[in-house]
Amino acid sequence: MATSRDWIITTGDLNMPYGLMPETGWNYRLNFTQKLKLNFKDAYITVDVYRTDFTQQVFVDADYNTQEA
């Protein structure tokens, strides 16, 4: 919206705001932390894994036309 492109929203349902369903997603996280001794000092190894699955994802096709989004 900070560009001078024209925003074109195509829809099949005119009852929704702007014709779009709300974007929803599920977030998952896995964390593993291990404490150990390294040269007689405490050390920690931590691994984090994140994932998001969208069920109603909205995306912009910016490559189709340089004047429209």
Question: For the chain, which residues make up each domain, given as ranges?
Answer: 26-52
Burial of 5: CB neighbours in 10 Å, binned 0-12, 13-18, 19+:
middle
Q: Is the dihedral of CA 12, 55, 24, 4 positive or negative?
A: negative
DSSP helix/strand/coil, 23: coil
At 6, list the tokens.
């024209």
Give tens-digit pLDDT for 13-60.
667 666 677 788 899 999 999 999 998 999 999 999 999 998 877 777
**Could you count the other beta carbons within 10 Å of the beta carbon of residue 20?**
13
The pLDDT, as a whole number, for residue 17 is: 64
The pLDDT, as a whole number, for residue 36 is: 93
